[in-house]
Structure 1
Amino acid sequence: MYSDALIFLATLLDSGFLLFTSIYFIVTISDLECDYLNAASCCKRLNSFVVPEVASLSVSCLLLLIGFRWLLFALNVPMLAYLIHRYYNVPSGNIGMYDPTEIHNRKLIQYHMKESMVKAANHVVFFFIYLYCTIYSLVAAA
């Protein structure tokens, strides 16, 4: 029983990190939109969090798979698949998922902002699901 609580606690912490990164993306993109940041420093900041975000969500999915939480695993896989798809389909010549030369030319700021909002909403929902599951598994174990 305590193994379930540990799995949910780890996924809760992981979800908290993912929520932080989503909020960081929203703030950074809005700073770029308001011209508080230049495109190069904004994209450098955002690209530094792409791999940790994918790795963190992968760890959450792996923990849910190990803990036989099939429904939660199945609900997390689409976001993981989307992030992996975006990571591996970066156009050649770009410095990363966020490229300073294209972010203004193609009006990608609005797209990245919407994407970050959807990711933040997803991570908020799962944060509270994992919080509930952690509390429930601790109460059930006692």
Structure 2
Amino acid sequence: MDEGTLEEASPQPDTSISLDTAVFVFSLFDTGALLFLLVYYVITLSDLECDYLNAQQCCYRLNLWVIPKLAAHLLLSLVFLLTGHFYLFLASLPLAAFLIREYVKVPAGNFGVYDPTEIHHMGQLKAHMRDSVIGMGYYLVFFFIYLYCLLTHLLRSNPVPKPDYADDIGL
């Protein structure tokens, strides 16, 4: 037998990535980035609480990342909606609503969600710290849910072909 016949007889494995695989990989990266951002929020707020930063520096640093955090979460929710992962989309809606409400309810005249003139008043610093830690917990749980979804999808799709043992036993 010549080599051309052998190549035709053995099927080539499909190396393309399915849409679900791409969605779950994107969700892992997006959630991982949001986790790191919320760790940054907690560290910055704790620096303000310990007087390592002044309120103006702290609020400027945090307000800089409010829109990217909101955009990343809304993009992830939109991807789940468009790809038909409705349970994951519904699970992301409460946090999306909270983030949108937090952004929209900023009073006129404030610098942003984090205002340096009001952050020490009426326990706002503790509330922001609490919200950041709750958000970290949410993203940590969903990071592992997305990882589980990716692994179960990869196992169901069986991307690795089974070896052909016919040549080993002389058939």
TM bin (shorter chain)? over 0.9
Quote how far apart the aligned CAs of 1:33 are: 0.2
Q: Distance in 2 between matches of 1:140 and 1:36?
A: 51
Corresponding residue number in structure 2 for 1:73: 89
RMSD: 1.0
Structure with greater helix percent: 1
- Residue 157 of structure 2 is matched in structure 1 by 141
Structure 1's consecutive aligned runs of 4 or more residues displaced over 6 angstroms after TM superposition are: none
- What is the aligned counterpart of 1:58 among 67, 74, 79? 74
Report the more deviating stretch, 1-10 or 32-41: 1-10
TM-score of the pair, normalised by structure 2: 0.80
Equivalent in 99, 109, 121 of residue 115 of structure 2: 99
TM-score, normalising length: structure 1: 0.96
Amino acid at match of 2:119: I
The alpha carbon displacement at 1:21 in A equals 1.1
Contact 1:2 1:141 survives alignment (8 Å): no
Give 1:105 deviation, angstroms.
2.5
**Contact 1:29–1:113 (CA under 8 A) maintained in structure 2:** yes
Unaligned runs of 5+ in 2: 1-16, 159-171
Q: Secondary structure at the match of 2:112?
A: coil
Match status 1:124 vs 2:130: no
How many pairs does the alignment contain?
142
Aligned partners of 1:78 and 1:6: how far apart in 2?
A: 24
> For 1:117 and 1:106, how far apart are their aligned partners in 2?
19
Question: Of 99, 119, 125, which aligns to 1:83?
Answer: 99
- How far apart in 2 are the matches of 1:25 and 1:87? 16
Which segment drifts farther, 1-10 or 12-21?
1-10
Identity across the alignment (%): 44
Q: Deviations over 1:91-120 (max 9, x none)?
A: 011000000000013331111110001100
CA distance in 1, matches of 2:123, 2:59: 14
| Higher Rg | 2
AA partner of residue 87 (structure 2): L
Q: Does the 8 Å CA contact 1:2/1:137 hold for their aligned counterparts?
A: no
